[in-house]
Amino acid sequence: MALATYEPLVGLTPRVQEIGRIRMGEKGDRGQPVKLKTFRLTSNDPRVLEVARSLYGGQVRPWRDAPDEGMYQLTTAAAELDILIPRSLLSVTQRYELWKGGTCERRCDGRIEELTEAPCVCGDQRGEDGYCDIVTRLSVILPRIPGLGRWRLDTGGWHAASTLPATLDLLLALDARPMVPAVLRAVQASTKVRDPKTGKVVTHRFVKPVLDAPGITIGQMVGAAATEAAQLPETVSPRQMTAEERVARQRAALEQRQTTSAADQAAHGEAVASADAASPPAEPSSPAPGEVETQAVGAAAPSPESPDEEVIEGEVREMHPAAMTDQELRDWLRERYIGLTDAQKHIRAAYGEKATIGSITDEQRAATAAAVAHPAQ
């Protein structure tokens, strides 16, 4: 069946509808901007945010001072979101913009000011001097959240402007699928500058958005691209075997060898019994002088091949190490498709309601990994 097509109007840019926004800050008690350590999702559909809450933690609340009525917000407990980057959409756009009183007074691409179609007047100086600030907009799909449409992240700053488009191009070059899976992270960062007036070094702390591949190395992505047609279905991305899977494979191989050995022994016993029944009994022979008489009772069953204990112990240590950093625990959970919400529930129950992945010790993170991997134990 042919797909429906349409002819857009001249000068009209088609856009997929927007479900909500991904934000990295909020307003404080006095209206001042406050940066967050995680994401703030906003939408006019509270049901969508309730699903996001079940996945990424937090609490859905009405957005009292929203620019539009009927808006809701969710500040997530997790600092990363699972996303899809559709090739059919213009995922990243960038402009120099000047905002005053909630309205955009200037928007240009470095050449033309789009609102007046005059030459761009934005310079190196930024908002506080009346000049434009650079704004990067990233449109993505949140595949684990219902709804047909996109989510948009607006972020300022030179770091996001320089890294997001280049990283997006790299991801699209490594993965040829029409929907490229990725992870969007909120990462704490800082920069040090010297104050020209005082001569003192000042540290500026900020949160930056980071795009990353979901639990896979670039080497695996490149190797998968080279052998995809021969080995991998189009809809399956290559994934490194986890420690649990390697242990399970070794144990299955060991059990198979033990089963085969037992079957071989049984078959050998039946063959010997048949041969004995078909042949006449042999006359007993007397031992030669000086020899000790022995009686063949049957060969002892060969001992089953024992597992490589050192390998097994190494895999178990990899599954549940004695200590894990914050990032190691997050990577460990993502590799095993265990949600951050499960880990956070255990952390709150074990170490207090205010405890988080970042606040507990490395040993407590390792204990959390073991608990969420084997909840019945």
Per-residue confidence at 26, pLDDT binned at 50, 70, 90?
Answer: confident
Strand order, beta sheet including 150-156: 60-62, 72-75, 33-43, 18-27, 150-156, 133-140, 92-100, 103-108, 112-113, 118-119
Predicted local confidence at residue 283, as pLDDT: 52
Is the distance from CB of 52 to CB of 76 less than 8 angstroms?
yes
Phi, psi (deg, nearest 5) at residue 3? -80, 145
Angstrom CA distances, 365 to 56, 170, 325, stand at 18, 32, 7
| 17-35: average pLDDT | 87
**Mean of the per-residue pLDDT values of the chain:** 76
What is the tens place of the pLDDT at every residue in 319-352?
556 788 877 777 777 766 566 777 888 888 888 8
Give the pTM: 0.56
- Res. 240: pLDDT tops 90: no
DSSP conformation class of 129 = G
- Res. 81: pLDDT tops 50: yes
Per-residue confidence at 12, pLDDT binned at 50, 70, 90?
Answer: confident
For the ranges 1-10, 70-79, 88-97, 295-304, the one whose mean pLDDT is highest: 70-79
In the chain, where the domains are located: 18-225, 323-373
What is the tens place of the pLDDT at every residue in 37-54?
999 999 999 999 999 999
Predicted local confidence at residue 103, as pLDDT: 84
Closest CA to 237 of 287, 183, 298, 290: 183
What is the tens place of the pLDDT at every residue in 243-272?
556 656 666 776 677 666 666 666 666 665
Q: How far is residue 266's CA from residue 336's CA, in Å, rounded to a whole number?
A: 41
**Which of 42-46, 280-284, 352-356 has the lowest average pLDDT?**
280-284
For the ranges 124-128, 211-215, 277-281, 296-300, the one whose mean pLDDT is highest: 211-215
